[in-house]
Amino acid sequence: MSIKAYFPERVAIDFYGNGGFRFAEMSHTGSMLILPDGIHGWHPVAFEEITPDDFSTLFDTVTGSTFVLFGTGAKQQWPGRELKAAFARRNIAVEVMDTGAAVRTYNVLLAEQRPVAAALLAVESYKSQD
């Protein structure tokens, strides 16, 4: 049985890099999904391995009124046709950007109390969000 990391709130991300994230005085190694019910560990490591199935929890949870950010790693990369179609079928708009930009945008939208979700691939370079 695999245990998935879960934090039951949406909070600002203080740091990203070194293969993970820091938030709420805790750290998480690996990628993350931030959904309306909190922050979840997410198994993808590289953009190239992402499939629509990796977003099944997001698709089951998020509605079209939620702003979805996809942090694709150290650089912005564009999802393939299959992934774009999976979002379109559910009427969910997704903004694709590198993980650093996604973290900064998520923090702003969260502070504005806007409905936001994020799928963030972990990166190695270390950045403070102060």
Mean pLDDT, rounded, of the chain? 92
Q: Residues 40-70: pLDDT tens digits?
A: 999 999 999 999 999 999 999 998 889 999 9
Tell me what percent of the chain is helix, strand and coil, each rounded to the nearest 5.
Answer: 25, 30, 40
Cα separations in angstroms, 19 against 29, 40, 122: 6, 15, 5
The pLDDT assigned to 65 comes to 87
The pLDDT assigned to 1 comes to 40
The pLDDT assigned to 128 comes to 53
H runs (alpha helix) in the chain: 56-61, 81-89, 99-111
Q: CA-to-CA distance for 38 and 47, rounded, in angstroms?
A: 23
Mean pLDDT, to the nearest integer, of 2-8?
Answer: 77
Q: Which domains does the chain have, with CATH numbers?
A: 6-123 (3.40.1230.10)
The pLDDT assigned to 5 comes to 87
